[in-house]
Amino acid sequence: MGALEHRWLAVEHDPAALDDILADDFVHVVPQGIISKSEQLTFMRAHPAPPDATVRRLSDLRVRVFGSPAIATGIVADHRA
């Protein structure tokens, strides 16, 4: 896993940091449907995550590169610290 993926997990609850990491055309597939970067950040600002002892790791990370853009898929697994 690359440095960007580690940084993403380190700041996953910080909308300002994620705004810097995520592409403008970022989409997040969730059980309720597909949400845009703007929708993701708006939700995060309205619903800050409480601090906890959970450590998150990416598993089954797959990156497909198409010239300059890439598509990353994977699973974020929670582990209690």
Residue type, 12: E
Calculate what percentage of the chain has a pLDDT beyond 70: 91
Domains belonging to the chain, first-starting first, are 3-80 (3.10.450.50)
Rounded to a whole number of angstroms, the distance between the first and last alpha carbons of the chain is 21
- DSSP letter at 67? S
pLDDT at 55: 73
Residue 76 vs residue 14, higher pLDDT = 14
Instruction: List 77's β-bridge partners, or say none.
Output: 57
Instruction: Compute the distance between CA of residue 2 and CA of residue 51 in angstroms, rounded to an integer.
Output: 25
Q: Is the pLDDT of residue 52 over 90?
A: no
pLDDT at 80: 64
Structure tokens at 76: 């974020």
